[in-house]
Amino acid sequence: MKRSPAILLALFVCCAVTAFCVPAAHGSGAENALDEVFQNPPQQARLRAYWWWLNGNVTKETITKDLEWMKQIGMGSGLVFDAPGVRKGLVQLVNITGSSQP
């Protein structure tokens, strides 16, 4: 059976239009929902951290500052540990980068 080139061309155009237009119309709701969940994940899917305190060397101000920072960057929760064995008072930080700035 011989097919007319005009019919084949019309069929091709219909398929092309359907392929490019229909998924955008139907998929936009699902894509928007996925984008929304990615931008604002539920609490149980957010980042968590291990938060080590060195022998209780913390103050109310530093705890508040750390918690505010964690909230600002979108962290979900954290686990607090107190590591004994570190002397009380000011903790000397070690510079491992090799630069002269602490």
Q: What is the pLDDT of residue 68?
A: 92
Residue 77 CA: distances (Å) to CA of 5, 49, 69, 83: 65, 7, 12, 19
Predicted TM-score (pTM) of this structure: 0.49
Q: What residue spans define the domains of the chain?
A: 1-40, 47-86
Task: Measure the CA–CA gap between 52 and 37, rounded to whole angstroms.
Answer: 30
- State pLDDT tens for residues 1-45: 555 666 655 656 555 555 555 444 445 677 888 888 888 888 888
